[in-house]
Amino acid sequence: MGEAGHSAQSWFGGVRGHLFQMVLLGLVPVIFLATLAVITYLAETLSISAAATQMEALARMAVAIHDRGLETSREALAALATDPDDEECGSHYRHFLLATEGHEGFIRTDSSGHAGCSIGRGADLAWMVKGGHLSRAMETGSFAVGPYVVSPGGHIALPMAYPVLDWMGATRGAVITARSLDHLAKAVAPPILPEGARLLILRTDGTVLARIPDLPDPAPPITPVPELKAAAAKGEGGSFTARAITGEISAFGIAPLGKVVPDTLISVSIPIESLGGGQRQFLRLTVISFAITGGVIVLLLWFASRRLLFRPLGRLANAMGRVRAGDMSARAGDGMGELGRMAATFDTMVSALNEREIWLKDSEDRFRATFEQAAVGMCHTTPERRFIRINRRFAAMLGYRPEELIGRSAGEVTHPEDTNLGLDSIAAIMNGGLESHAVEKRYIRKDGTVIWANLTVSALRRDGNVEYIIGVAEEISWRKSAEEALRAAKEQAETASRAKSEFLASMSHELRTPLNAIIGFSETMVSEVLGPMPGRYREYAGDIASSGHHLLGIITDILDLAKIEAGKMELDDRPMDVAPAVEASLRLLRDRAGAAGLDLAAELPSDLPQVLADERRLRQVLINLLGNAIKFTPSGGSVRVNAFVPAGGGLALTVSDTGIGMSDDDLALAVEPFGQVDSRIARRHDGTGLGLPLVAAIMELHGGAMTIDSRPGGGTSVTVTFGRERVFAGTSPPP
């Protein structure tokens, strides 16, 4: 035992012991120095990795802020597009322009894409209409986004369009806006974007759309950083270290903007040296000093590194993991040096992000207020059609409070006969085959009454799945009531008209038979076929025959008008010349015109075309017009018949006189059946007031029209016009 102790003592106290101690003492600083060097390297590696991960997190946060701003713009456009009463860019447009940041302005277009009205922060907003986003929105009937462009004011902006649909679901225009990148620059400004960091928005081909902040010198349009260009070409998120355009080794984080703005990414970078380069130099000097001072300093440095490096790094990594998992209350805590600043930057960034979330919530609250105060009923339902959000207008329309409808099925307030109405279209909307659908349906109010509403249904999708169904309803009960009343009144009027026409036709037939007998017997008596009779009786018989012919003409007019109104008159259309019909009518009435002291004549061109018409009815039209002109023209006046070809084609016949004329009120009365103008001259002549209505009805059967130009004391001019389809270009009918 003593020998063993002596041996051990000689080992530690002898030459070999001293050598071992020297080696041990020499190895201890070397080991600790090497350990600290490894620790320093690992610390720098972890620091750079943490910085790159932090840059990627910042890039994804910037993408989230960008997407949230884009969603706010889409919701603002959707709200404006569903407001059918604001086509002049009024208060709602001003509200959204002031309430939501980053918009250059709003433009409303018609269905052809022409700008109808606009409101914005600049004088010229026409550039927002250019691009494929407007045509895609009009063609697809859905929200469309164009690529980033440079506005006239020099801002990088993202134009977007939302279709305006009418109650039938057809596109009748669009609402357009452009969201400037300025809002993104404000959103990621310090303290969210660390000092010295730079944010780039670039395409997958490496084209840089914007740099925040800008470089002091002009930069190339395509990034010269090969690593960044290669990462952008992949179109995926990630982080890496590379030499930036400024020549500094920097940590890069990259994240794509997504499907709405494809082929576009956001990159955030920060120079490595700005992440506490002085502290790293101090750490190196400390390592050198430890090599001089020995193992105690190595132990102290190891203890200090464990306390000042690994623990803060662990807290920072843990906090970053919690934030990535959605826990925004995580904090990295305090620390010293570079890690302390990184932890403080991280905590400040998370706090600022929380403040930004509060700001976004406030923006959502403003949008919700707009949703609640909309002039039309709006609701959101689950894909199973259960209400999850209802504005006051929709609830009031159904007689409920909004909270009474939340969770209930839409079928519970739908009229039983309309429960399945539009379900196929809603299924097509959920499957992506249809953007929106409009339907008129009935709802049952809380008090049991039934109302009509025009419902437009669409869906909000996220990541290809339907998040909720959007319904916009406008009550149309008053319109339905008006349509029903109009339909009933029309049916009643048509029934009364048919009854009147059938009665007149029946009575006319019943009167014509005995009247023809009276006319025949009186004419027999006038002609003294059965022997002579006293002159006085012969005169009476002539009056009976004249009155019978007059009454027969009235009955014939009544019967013709009744046939036309009943739709039973048929035309014997044949190609004919107008001039012979005019001459025959003049011959028939020339004696009456001469007896009235009037000049009756026709002024017809020699090259008038033929018309396809019923010759008997055309002569009836001319006789009625000439008879009226003779009846209401004082002695010494004139009656003329003219014909001409109008500028648009066809053929027009005009009967004009120098008679008493008519006022506008008289004209309205004269074209009504049995309407007679009350005047001193008119009362001298018999009449039923059927002449002009019969002329208008006959011309309407021919597809033509009748127009009257008259003024009191200035005569009357009546023009009947045949359409161009009834006129032949030559004098002969077509083969």
Q: Where among 122, 149, 184 does a domain terminate?
A: 184
Higher pLDDT: 113 or 731? It is 113
List CB contacts of 111: < 8 A, sequence separation 6 or more.
138, 171, 172, 173
pLDDT of res. 336: 65
How does pLDDT run across 585-594, given as a tens digit for each residue? 888 888 888 8
For the chain, give me the number of helices (H) and strands (E)? 19, 23
**The pairing of beta strand 651-657 with beta strand 716-722:** antiparallel
Share of the chain above pLDDT 90, in %: 7
Choose among 202, 271, 259: nearest CA to 231.
202
CATH of the domain at 539: 1.10.287.130
pLDDT of res. 639: 92
Phi, psi for residue 106 in degrees, rounded to 5: -130, 140
Choose among 221, 223, 222, 266: nearest CA to 244.
223
User: Averaged over 627-631, what is the pLDDT?
Assistant: 87
Contact 184, 268 (CB under 8 A): no
pLDDT of res. 504: 62
Phi, psi for residue 559 in degrees, rounded to 5: -65, -45
Contact 228, 252 (CB under 8 A): yes
In a domain, 276, yes or no: no
* One domain, residues 560 and 645: no
Residue identified by tokens 């794509």 is 256
The pLDDT-based confidence of 299 (bands split at 50, 70, 90) is low
pLDDT of res. 508: 59
pTM: 0.37
Q: DSSP label at 556?
A: H
Looking at the DSSP assignment, which residues form a beta bridge with residue 457?
Answer: 437, 471
Which H or E element spans position 161? strand 156-165
Q: Among the residues of 100-154, which ranges form H helices?
A: 132-140
**The pairing of beta strand 638-644 with beta strand 198-203:** unpaired
How does pLDDT run across 200-247, given as a tens digit for each residue? 888 888 888 888 777 777 888 888 888 888 888 888 888 888 888 888
Q: Which two tokens stand for residue 383?
A: 């894909």
In a domain, 356, yes or no: no
* One domain, residues 524 and 599: no
pLDDT at residue 735 tops 60? no
pLDDT of res. 261: 80
In a domain, 310, yes or no: no
**The pairing of beta strand 599-603 with beta strand 638-644:** parallel
* One domain, residues 432 and 495: no
Three-state secondary structure along 433-485? CCCEEEEEEEEECCCCCEEEEEEEEEEEEECCEEEEEEEEEEECHHHHHHHHH
Residues 595 and 570: their CA atoms lie apart, in Å, by 36
Domain assignment of residue 660, given as a range: 570-726
Three-state secondary structure along 497-510? HHHHHHHHHHHHHH
**CA 624 remoteness from chain centre:** 55
* One domain, residues 598 and 661: yes
pLDDT of res. 641: 93
Higher pLDDT: 541 or 163? It is 163
Q: Give the sheet arrangement for strand 436-444, strand by strand.
A: 387-390, 377-381, 465-475, 450-462, 436-444
pLDDT of res. 170: 85
In a domain, 30, yes or no: no
The crossing angle, in degrees rounded to 10, of helices 337-372 and 15-81 is: 20
In a domain, 407, yes or no: yes
Work out the number of other CB atoms within 10 angstroms of the CB of residue 89.
Answer: 21
Q: Which two tokens stand for residue 651?
A: 């053929």
* One domain, residues 662 and 693: yes
pLDDT of res. 402: 87
pLDDT at residue 677 tops 50? yes
How does pLDDT run across 5-52, given as a tens digit for each residue? 444 334 433 334 434 444 455 566 667 667 767 777 776 777 777 778
In a domain, 526, yes or no: yes
Residues 250 and 240: their CA atoms lie apart, in Å, by 9
pLDDT of res. 123: 66
User: Averaged over 563-579, what is the pLDDT?
Assistant: 78
Q: Which two tokens stand for residue 704?
A: 């033509």
In a domain, 172, yes or no: yes
* Segment among 41-50, 260-269, 385-394 with least mean pLDDT: 41-50
State the number of CA atoms in the 13 A half-sphere of 230 facing the CB.
7
Mean pLDDT of the chain: 78
**CA 128 remoteness from chain centre:** 16
> What is residue 702's three-state secondary structure?
coil
* One domain, residues 594 and 465: no
CATH of the domain at 148: 3.30.450.20
* One domain, residues 446 and 575: no
Q: Where among 565, 595, 630 does a domain terminate?
A: 565
Residues 207 and 222: their CA atoms lie apart, in Å, by 4
3-state percent breakdown (helix, strand, coil) of the chain, nearest 5: 50, 20, 30
Q: Which two tokens stand for residue 238?
A: 């990630």
List CB contacts of 371: < 8 A, sequence separation 6 or more.
79, 378, 389, 391
* One domain, residues 391 and 528: no
Contact 90, 81 (CB under 8 A): no
* One domain, residues 623 and 677: yes
Reported in sequence order, the residue ranges of 579-696 that DSSP labels E, i.e. its strands, are 599-603, 611-613, 638-644, 651-657
Choose among 212, 204, 241, 207: nearest CA to 66.
212
Choose among 148, 55, 164, 64: nearest CA to 106.
164
Q: DSSP label at 733?
A: -
Q: Where among 544, 565, 586 does a domain terminate?
A: 565
User: Averaged over 247-276, what is the pLDDT?
Assistant: 83
* One domain, residues 578 and 545: no
pLDDT of res. 638: 92
* One domain, residues 574 and 700: yes
In a domain, 138, yes or no: yes
List CB contacts of 605: < 8 A, sequence separation 6 or more.
643, 644
Q: DSSP label at 214?
A: P
Q: Write the burial class of residue 141 (CB in 10 Å: 0-12 exposed, 13-18 middle, 19+ buried).
A: buried
Contact 486, 476 (CB under 8 A): no
Residues 77 and 69: their CA atoms lie apart, in Å, by 12
Q: Which two tokens stand for residue 578?
A: 């107008």
The pLDDT-based confidence of 307 (bands split at 50, 70, 90) is low
User: Averaged over 538-561, what is the pLDDT?
Assistant: 67
Residues 359 and 58: their CA atoms lie apart, in Å, by 18
pLDDT at residue 407 tops 80? yes
pLDDT of res. 124: 78
Looking at the DSSP assignment, which residues form a beta bridge with residue 452?
Answer: 442
- What is the domain count for the chain? 4
Looking at the DSSP assignment, which residues form a beta bridge with residue 201?
Answer: 210, 266
How does pLDDT run across 487-536, given as a tens digit for each residue? 888 888 777 767 666 666 666 566 666 767 777 767 777 777 777 877 77
How does pLDDT run across 441-489, given as a tens digit for each residue? 899 998 989 989 998 898 888 887 888 888 898 888 888 888 888 888 8
* One domain, residues 394 and 464: yes
pLDDT of res. 87: 63
